[in-house]
Every structure is written in structure tokens, then in C-alpha cells.
Amino acid sequence: MTSSPMTLRFADSPSATDRAAALPAPAPRRASRAFLRNPTALSGLAILGLVAAAALAAPFAYPDDPLGMVAQPFLWPGQDPAYPLGTDSLGRDVAAGIAHGARVSLLVGFAAAATGLAVGVLVGATAGYAGGRIDRALGRVIALFQTSPAFILLVVLVAIAQPSIPAITLAIGATSWPIVARLTRAEFRSLREKDFVTAARGLGYGPVRIVFAEILPNALPPIVVTASVMVASGILMESALSFRGLGDPNVVSWGSMIGSGREVLRSAWYLTAIPGVAIVLAVLALNLVGDGLNDALNPRLAGEA
């Protein structure tokens, strides 16, 4: 990714370089306007808002244990107004499970993405800026993790650590960081010799300040877009683990709901369909938001604005 014209003007004078720690002021405003004008992105944001609202309202709307048996088993959706989405084979409220499952999915997705981003950006920035032997060594480490089957590694890590929300979150983050590291490494390698970085070195800035205050803000757009995809991948991975019985047994999640409902798929298909739709909507929303961010942060579109 090449530097924007505003970034190149920063390098023309030392006083302007002092302000290069952040992106140019108009750029965030342009990106925000472009994002808010994108109907696809707004649709994704609206769906994601509904999922987040359900997660936030879960403790108040359903204060009891969502794993508790509260009614007759196999109540179909709409059959009893007290249980609008019905009950499962053990008499548990499906609506309570969906709401509390949203909390688990969003928590794991965002926390795992944050973990993967932190490790990936640190490794990628170090490799891309340092170059030489450090770059080659870290590049081999990144390639080693990328060639390993991510889900198999995830299953092994969770099985060793015992299934729990913190263990699942860290395991997903540990398998997702190479994508960010490779992207960050490529961005830093293309930006480290730009004029504004050379000017920062001439002013006596240290490597840490150059990496985090000068190069990283210019490398953020593709990283931000990747972060939305990582959240969606984290939700899918957690659901897959719970579906296979490797989720936290003390909490309800969408994946575990699908796993328990598959045994009665022919007679009570709604037990798998409802949590399945919830997963589809959450992942779809995150992908739509990611597409909107990609369009808004596209340097070509920014230059045309």
C-alpha cells in the first residue's frame, strides 16, 4: 500500500513530520462518510447491533440459568407465549439460549480477534521493520504456523488446556495471529523506506516511535478490515468446537445448541435451525461491516473523495 498524498506532504518539512503520529485529519472523516453512505455496511452494522443488543439484554430478560429446565420439552416456536422460540429436548428455553449464546459468541469472537491482532501486529511489525535475519527468522515462524491446520491445532490446544471460555479464546487467538502477522509484515516492508519514515529517522526518532507512531497508522486500514473477518472466524471456530462437544460445558453457546439438537433433527428441526440462523446472521453482519470498511478505507476511493 502506498502512502497517501497527505502523508507525503508530512515528509516535506520537519515540523509536519512531528504530526505524522496520526493519520491526516480529513482521512478519518472521509472514511466515516464513505462507510455511513454504504447501505451494505449499514445493513451489517444494524444486524450486528441487534445481536449485541440481545447479548446485553440477556442477563435482564433471562436472569435464570439458560441451562435450566423450565418447561415441557419440545414446545414449538409460538406454541407457548412464555417461550416464543420453544423449548428443547430437556425443556430449556431456546430464546434464553440464543440470547446468552450471543454473549458467548461475541465475547469469544472479539477477545480472540484482539489476542490475534496483538500478537500478529507485534510479530509482523518487528519482522517488517527490522528486516534481515530477524525478518527471515520470524517469516519462517509465521509460515510454520500457517502451514499447520488451524482447526486441528485449535482442537489440540483446547483439549490440552481443558474447555473453558478463556482457554478457547486464547487458543483461537493463537491460531489466527499468523494472518495478521503476514499482512503487517508486508505493509511494514513497503512503508519502512518511505519519505516520512526517512524524515522521522532524521529527526532522531527511535525505532519504537517510528513503528507505532509513524508506520502503524499508515498500515492500519487493511489490518482493521482483517480484524472484522477474524471476529467472524472466531465465532465460527467457537461454534464448531461447541458443536463437537469441546466448548465450555458451563455456558450455553449457539454451537452447543446445534450439537444437542442434531439428535432430533427430523422431529424438531427448529432446535438446530434457530441457532444456525443466529450464527449466519452474526457472521454475515461482520462480513458486511468488513466489506464496508474495505471500501471506506480504500486509498483509491479516499483519493477520489
Instruction: Kindly tell me if the per-residue pLDDT of 301 is higher than 90.
Output: no
Q: Specify whether the CB–CB gap between 238 and 254 falls below 8 A.
A: no
Instruction: Kindly tell me if the per-residue pLDDT of 55 is higher than 80.
Output: yes
- When pLDDT is cut at 50, 70 and 90, the band that residue 27 belongs to is low
Q: Residues 139, 145, 150, 152: what is their CA dihedral angle, to the nearest 10 degrees?
A: 170
Domain boundaries along the sequence of the chain: 49-304
Summarised one tens digit per residue, pLDDT across range 71-95 is 899 999 989 899 999 999 899 999 9
Question: What is the model's pTM?
Answer: 0.84
In words, the CATH class of domain 49-304 is mainly alpha
Take residue 50 and report the three cell numbers written for it: 441487534
In DSSP terms, 87 is beta-bridged to 93
In the predicted model, what is the mean pLDDT of residues 16-28? 41
CA pair distance 98, 147, nearest whole angstrom: 35
Instruction: Kindly tell me if the per-residue pLDDT of 31 is higher than 80.
Output: no
Percent of all residues in the chain with a pLDDT value above 70, rounded to a whole number: 88
Residue 201: predicted pLDDT? 84
CA pair distance 219, 120, nearest whole angstrom: 13
SS (H, E, C) the chain: CCCCHHHHHHCCCHHHHCCCCCCCCHHHHHHHHHHHCCHHHHHHHHHHHHHHHHHHHHHHHCCCCCCCCCCCCCCCCCCECCECCCECCCCCEHHHHHHHHHHHHHHHHHHHHHHHHHHHHHHHHHHHHHCHHHHHHHHHHHHHHHHCCHHHHHHHHHHHHCCCHHHHHHHHHHHHHHHHHHHHHHHHHHHCCCHHHHHHHHCCCCHHHHHHHHHHHHHHHHHHHHHHHHHHHHHHHHHHHHHCCCCCCCCCCHHHHHHHHHHHCCCCCHHHHHHHHHHHHHHHHHHHHHHHHHHHHCHHHHHHC
Which residues lie below 8 Å from residue 164, measured CB to CB, with a gap of 6+?
A: 248, 250
Residue found by looking up cell 407457548 in the block:
80
In DSSP terms, 83 is beta-bridged to 80
Residue 263: predicted pLDDT? 87
Take residue 143 and report the three cell numbers written for it: 509460515
Summarised one tens digit per residue, pLDDT across range 261-300 is 988 888 899 999 999 999 999 999 999 999 888 888 775 5
